[in-house]
């Protein structure tokens, strides 16, 4: 696994950065489109087309992604589906939920300690700038004897990048080792190319420095 991760990192080139669009469906069914255009990000609400849902021209995927990556006994990685499934949350004894998606609402406000940090899944997003706030919440959950679930929309890019960065800082792991650990726990994890580039250059302070 680590050898494959190293190959993936070596093969990365900034020239391969692509503009991305991410569609998000909130817990209330609202559809949001995250995109990058003219050197700025845009978040648009998608309305219902004429002719109803059938006019969208796609087959809706109703399968839930409830696979949760066990990074540490107290640190989990998953999708919004897992974060919105009470049975899954109870199964893994989750107490704290870090939501780093944009437009994805929290489902069980009275049952868990939540932290929302809205991050766009775009290569241009400076995800490293969000690390201190994310890491503080993760450490808080750990110090309180809890179990922290980190999630975004799909649990593939934003949340994975946060967890990888956290391992690089807290465990003093190299990027290949941190990425391999996350992929081993949740094979779907794959930060976008811009996040991967930032992680390559990430140099966390060591021993409180």
Q: What is the pLDDT of residues 130-161, one digit of tens each?
A: 999 999 999 999 999 999 999 999 999 999 99
What is 66-200's CATH topology? 3.90.190
For residue range 1-11, list pLDDT tens digits in order.
555 555 555 55
- The pLDDT score that the predictor gives to residue 204 is 86
Report, as an integer, the average pLDDT of 14-21.
Answer: 49
Radius of gyration of the chain (CA): 17
- Given a cut of 60, whether residue 188 has pLDDT beyond it is yes
Helix or strand or coil: residue 12? coil
Domain ranges of the chain: 66-200
pTM score, two decimals? 0.72
Kindly tell me the sign of the dihedral angle through the C-alpha atoms of 17, 198, 84, 133. negative
With beta carbons less than 8 A apart as the criterion, state whether 27 and 105 touch. yes
State the catalytic residues: 152
């Amino acid at each position: 696994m680590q050898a494959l991760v190293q190959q993936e990192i070596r093969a990365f080139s900034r020239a391969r950065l692509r503009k991305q669009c991410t569609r998000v469906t909130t817990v209330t069914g609202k559809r949001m489109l995250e995109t990058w255009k003219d050197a700025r990000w845009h978040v648009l609400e998608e309305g219902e087309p004429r002719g109803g849902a059938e006019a969208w021209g796609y087959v809706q995927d109703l399968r839930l992604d409830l696979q949760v990556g066990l990074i540490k006994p107290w640190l989990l990685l998953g999708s919004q589906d897992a974060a919105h499934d009470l049975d899954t949350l109870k199964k893994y004894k989750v107490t704290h939920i870090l939501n780093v998606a944009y437009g994805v609402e929290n489902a069980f406000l009275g049952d868990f300690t939540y932290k929302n940090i809205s991050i766009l899944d775009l290569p241009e997003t400076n995800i490293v700038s969000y690390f201190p706030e994310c890491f503080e919440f993760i450490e808080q959950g750990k110090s309180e004897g809890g179990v922290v679930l980190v999630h975004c929309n799909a649990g593939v890019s934003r949340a994975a990048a946060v967890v990888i960065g956290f391992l690089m800082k807290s465990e003093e792991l190299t990027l290949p080792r941190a990425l391999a650990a996350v992929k081993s726990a949740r094979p779907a994890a794959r930060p976008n190319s811009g996040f991967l580039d930032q992680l390559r250059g990430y140099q966390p302070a060591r021993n409180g420095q």
